[in-house]
Amino acid sequence: MTEFVAHFDVDAFYASVAVRDDPSLRGKPVAIAGRSRRAVVLTASYEARPFGVRSAMPLYKARMACPELVVVAPDMAKYKAVSREIFAVFAARGQAVEGLSMDEAFVDAGHRDFGAACALAADVRRDVLDATGLTVSAGIASGKMIAKIASDACKPNGLLAIPPGDEARFLAPLPVGRLWGIGPKTQRRLTSFGIQTIGDLVALDESQLREFFGAWGAQIRELACGRDARRVEPERETESISTEETFEYDVRDERELVAVLRAQSLELAEKLERENAGARTVGIKIKRGDFSILGRQTHLIEPTRAARAIFRAAVACLRRAQLDGAPVRLLGTRVASLVEGEPLQIGLFSQR
Amino acid sequence: MKFTCNTKDISAAVGAASKVVNAHTTVPILSNVLLQADDGKIAVRATDLELTFEHAFPADIGEGGSVTIPAKLFSSYLGNLPTGTLELTGTPTRASVKCERSNYDFHALPADEYPPLPAATRGSHFTIAAKKFRDGIDGTIFAASNEEARGAVLMGTLLEIEGDALTMVATDGYRLAKFVTTLDDGITGSEKYIVPSRALAEVSRNLGGGETIAVSALGAQSNQLQITAGNVSITVRLVDGQYPNYQQVIPAKFDRTMTVNTSALIGSLRRAELVAGDRASMVKLAISNQTLVVTANSDISGTAYEELEIEQTGEDLTIAFNARYLVEILNHVKSDKTVVEFLGPLSPAAIRPLEPLESGQQLYVLMPLRQ
């Protein structure tokens, strides 16, 4: 008997919803993307992927790579509705669910034997298909990281379960970058020392590990050996809420940027209202015309969910960024240090 | 310049003026007080460019003119003098003081570099009984914001004059204080001034003891206000901006009231707040059966429960407030009993004395906490 974690991830979520609702798209390369000049691919169907079409790829590049690509506009309201149905299935057996995005979650598969855990994952996959017509890939393992790597490895429409004791063997041939906490930079550095796979990393001795990772070395080895004690955390708290806009053409006029901040502040205030939360931190993100990214943030004296207070803070951040008319490609506003369930002083002039 | 005066007179005038001096000023002459000899009196002036304070006292003028002396140093020196007479001789670079058998030379700065008062282009003018103005100031300015981040407008107090009616309003966006009174000599038409609250605090402290206070708008755009009583005058630059529409946030009607003993409620709230700790100092007020139950709790400190007898009209209600805000308001209700009016748990509450002050009508509005 072992504690198992299941990871579920809907296959090409947005694209699958589009194909489900328009059968004429079945079997065709489909990309979900907006209409603007700078639209990027949000999701590509499995038929589009052999052409090299990937999420986050600029749409014009995707069209060059795959001239027959069918582009469908996103329908967020629909995805949200489908997402609710999917999560209802995840939660139907009373297990703890930790949502990672609209179509992806960890589900606590409980303390049971391996076969029963596999059966649970298979049941969830079947129920999601019955309820929504969408296929889900699932990974089952004794820890979260391996469960997620497993579900990625068996996509689309697969189920991969790693028996207890097989974790290290499963991980060993995978590139080191698959380990949680090893980003592209660290991966490049490790590769330059000949450490390509997770197995290579496990083979390092203590002092080498310390050299690469400092105090964190022991933990990274535990992970690389497949020992991952983190449990499913239901209702993981929202840490921040953000919104951003990529402009059709670069913006230099501060008044225009301020107008965008005003709209974004209103949007964030509404989201905070829905979450019954207040924010202590307000920040902005700026992507300049040369793609360099700049952030500024400020802390408020007391948590707020008032659009006016968020806007004022965001504008102060914008002034601090001292753009001096430099072209801006993207502008975003973010609220963080959220306070939930705490009493919140209602403002006289911000009553609803 | 040269004059002889009573040490008590000059000490009081320089002491009061030096409070206006900004200790962190980067303009050297603003650290000084200006002494001007004129017609049997000496006028002591200090300014931080927003607020100018002038206090005059009688003196024997030997020779006219003016001198500027470092304010803090001079006021400390004067504060340590025995009662008696003092002789001061001023030049552009030096102030020499003789008192009994002591002689001091203070470094001075040329008086002609001292910022002048605004041109005396007079705008509207009114007078008010000192007691009324002081009660109005003391009853409102505490509610203004003291956070620079919220802007100068909310740090100010609104003076709204219509004929011979004066309405004073201060708010920090969460609570609001309003005081309505009458003027001795009103104006024709109406005026609105947003006065930095700290200037009004100086007015209350320095001008409140007299009989009548005169207020005049100064400057070509009426952007300064001069407030004078007896031998003291305060001139202040008004806040430029739009005051929020305060009338809109004061409900016209309420459907529930409680009348409660003011000091008993203050006591309960102060004790309960100790337990509420940093949960926004949240206290809950439950009104039912002619009884008010005040509760508070926090994981760290424990729980609080206080019962008070009240006169209740209308339906029962449970509402949460920041205890600190409520106590601060109640501290300004100078009446044995306080009337609190409600509309609901998320709507503004109004607080007023059961027996109004003779000098004017007080009204406070406080927003509750959302739990």
Cβ distance of B174 and A351 shorter than 8 Å:
no
Is the peptide bond preceding residue A156 cis, with omega within 30 degrees of 0?
A: yes
What are the extents of the domains in chain B? 2-113, 122-247, 250-366
Strands A159-161 vs A136-141: parallel, antiparallel or unpaired: parallel
Q: What is the separation, in whole angstroms, between the first and last Cα of chain A? A: 54
Question: What is the pLDDT at residue A216?
Answer: 79
Least Cα separation, residue B278 to chain A (angstroms): 10
Which one of 3.40.50.300, 3.40.1170.60, 1.10.10.10, 3.40.50.150 gives the CATH number of domain A14-75?
Answer: 3.40.1170.60
> Whose structure tokens read 């939930």?
A340
Reported ipTM: 0.82
Residue B173 and residue A343: Cβ atoms within 8 Å?
A: no
In 3-state terms, what secondary structure has residue B236?
strand
Q: Do A345 and B171 touch (CB under 8 A)?
A: no
Helix (H, G, I), strand (E, B) or coil at B3: strand
Q: Are B256 and B164 in contact (CB under 8 A)?
A: no
DSSP-derived letter for residue B24 is T
Please list the alpha-helical segments (H only) found in A144-216. 144-153, 167-171, 184-192, 198-202, 206-213
Residue B36 in contact with residue B17, Cβ under 8 Å? no
Residue A341 has what pLDDT? 66
Residue B313 C-alpha, separation from nearest chain A C-alpha, in angstroms: 25
User: How far is the C-alpha of A142 from the C-alpha of A117, rounded, in Å?
Assistant: 10
For range A58-63, the mean pLDDT: 90
- Please state, in angstroms and rounded to a whole number, the distance separating the CA atoms of residues A212 and B86: 79
Contact criterion met (CB below 8 Å) for A95 and A109: yes
Residue A235's pLDDT band (boundaries 50, 70, 90)? low
> Does the pLDDT value for residue B342 go beyond 80?
yes
Tell me the CATH number of domain B250-366, given options 3.40.630.10, 3.10.150.10, 2.60.40.10, 3.30.1390.20.
3.10.150.10
Average pLDDT over chain A, rounded to whole? 88
- CATH class as words, domain A168-224: mainly alpha
Nearest Cα of chain B lies from the Cα of A268 at a distance, in angstroms, of 18
Question: Taking the CB of residue A57, how many other CB atoms lie within 10 A of it?
Answer: 17
Residue B220 CB burial class (10 angstroms; 0-12, 13-18, ≥19): exposed
Report the percentage of chain A scoring pLDDT > 90: 44
B362: its two tokens: 């007080």
Tell which residue, B283, B247, B254, has the closest CA to residue B347: B254
**How many CB contacts within 8 angstroms connect chain A with chain B?**
47
> In this structure, which long-range contacts are made by residues A272-278, counting pairs with CB atoms below 8 Å and at least 24 apart in sequence?
A272/A241, A272/A305, A272/A335, A272/A338, A273/A305, A275/A238, A275/A241, A275/A338, A275/A340, A276/A340, A276/A341, A277/A238, A277/A305, A277/A338, A277/A339, A277/A340, A278/A302, A278/A303, A278/A304, A278/A305, A278/A338, A278/A339, A278/A342, A278/A344
Of the candidates A343, A346, A348, the beta carbon closest to that of B279 is on: A343
Q: Does A342 touch chain B (CB under 8 A)?
A: yes
Share of chain B above pLDDT 70, in %: 98
A residues 250..309 contacting B (CB < 8 A): 301-302
Are residues B370 and A342, on separate chains, in Cβ contact within 8 Å? no
Q: What is the Cα–Cα distance from A211 to B261, expressed in whole angstroms?
A: 71
Which chain B residues are Cβ-neighbours of A302 within 8 angstroms? Answer: 280
Q: Flag whether pLDDT at A159 surpasses 70.
A: yes
Cα B266-B269-B272 angle, rounded to 5 deg: 150
pLDDT in tens, A310-342: 999 999 999 888 888 889 999 999 998 887 766
For the segment A64-83, the average pLDDT, to the nearest whole number, is: 90
Helix runs in chain B, H state only: 7-18, 71-79, 130-140, 152-155, 197-207, 262-276, 323-330
Q: Does A349 touch chain B (CB under 8 A)?
A: yes
| Token pair of A225 as six digits | 């050996």
Return the CATH number of the domain spanning residue range A2-12+77-164: 3.30.70.270
Residue ranges of domains in chain A? 2-12+77-164, 14-75, 168-224, 240-351
Range of weakest confidence among A138-152, A217-231, B89-103: A217-231
Per DSSP, chain B holds a count of helices (H) and strands (E) of 7, 27
Measured between CA atoms, how close is B147 to chain A, in angstroms?
9
pLDDT tens digit sequence for B270-301: 999 998 876 668 999 999 999 999 999 887 78
Express each pLDDT in B127-173 by its tens digit. 999 999 999 999 999 999 987 767 789 999 999 999 999 999 999 98
Distance from CA of A349 to the nearest CA of B (A): 6
**Average pLDDT in chain B:** 93
**Each residue's pLDDT tens digit, A256-292:** 999 999 889 988 988 887 777 888 889 999 998 888 8
Q: Do B367 and A351 touch (CB under 8 A)?
A: yes
Rg of the Cα atoms in chain A: 23
Read off the pLDDT of each residue in B19-35 and give the average, rounded to a whole number.
90
Q: Flag whether residue A347 sits within 8 Å of chain B, measured between CB atoms.
A: yes
Contact assessment for residue B337 and residue B310, using Cβ atoms and an 8 Å cutoff: no
* Cβ-Cβ contacts under 8 Å, B244 against chain A: 349
Q: Does the pLDDT at position A51 exceed 50?
A: yes
Distances, alpha carbon B70 to alpha carbons A343, B225, B238, in Å: 49, 26, 27
d(CA B133, CA B127): 10
Element (H, E) at A251: strand A240-251
Residues 328-367 on B with a CB inside 8 Å of A are 346-348, 365, 367
Q: Say whether residue B249 is in contact with chain A using an 8 A CB cutoff.
A: yes
Residue B353 half-sphere exposure toward CB, CA atoms < 13 A? 19
d(CA A78, CA B130): 68
pLDDT grade, residue A352 (50/70/90)?
very low
CB atoms near residue A292 (< 10 Å): 10
Residues in A touching B346 (Cβ below 8 Å): 346
Distance CA B283, CA B118 (A): 49
pLDDT at B120 over 70: no
Which CATH superfamily, name and number, covers B122-247?
DNA Polymerase III, subunit A, domain 2 (3.10.150.10)
Assess whether pLDDT exceeds 70 at residue B187. yes
pLDDT (mean) for A234-243: 72
Q: Tell me, yes or no, if B156 comes closer than 8 A to chain A by beta carbon.
A: no
In this prediction, residue B125 carries a pLDDT of 93
Q: How far is CA B362 from CA B140, B155, B257, B328, B353, in A?
A: 9, 20, 17, 14, 7
- Cα separations in angstroms, A184 against A132, A177, A178, A264: 36, 7, 10, 31
Of A68, A104, A211, A273, catalytic: A104
Which residues in chain B touch residue A307, judged by CB atoms under 8 angstroms apart?
Answer: none
Backbone angles phi, psi at B144, to 5 degrees: -70, 160
Using CA atoms, how far apart are residues A296 and B241, in angstroms rounded to an integer?
28
Domain A240-351: assigned CATH number: 3.30.1490.100
A297-317: per-residue pLDDT in tens? Answer: 888 777 788 888 899 999 999
Token readout for B187 is 């104006």
CB contact, 8 Å: A344 with chain B?
yes
- Chain B neighbors of A347, CB-CB under 8 A: 173-174, 367
> How close A291 gets to chain B, by Cα (Å)?
32
The answer to whether A229 faces chain B, any CB pair under 8 Å, is no
Q: Which residues pair with B235 in a beta bridge?
A: B52, B226
Give yes or no: A104 in active site: yes
Q: Do A348 and B171 touch (CB under 8 A)?
A: yes
Residue B79: the pLDDT is 94
Helix, strand, coil percent values for chain B (each to nearest 5):
25, 45, 30
CA torsion angle A326 A331 A336 A341 (round to 10) = 140
| CATH classification number, B2-113, choose in 3.30.200.20, 3.20.20.70, 3.10.150.10, 3.30.360.10 | 3.10.150.10
CA distances from B263 to B80, B266, B281, B291, B308 (A): 41, 5, 19, 16, 11
Chain B residue numbers with beta carbons less than 8 Å from the beta carbon of A345 are: 174, 280, 322, 367, 369-370
| In contact, B179 and B334? CB cutoff 8 Å | no
Contacts of B280 in chain A (CB under 8 A): 302, 342-345
- Do B320 and A343 make contact, defined as CB atoms within 8 angstroms? yes
Cβ contacts of B152 on chain A, cutoff 8 Å:
none
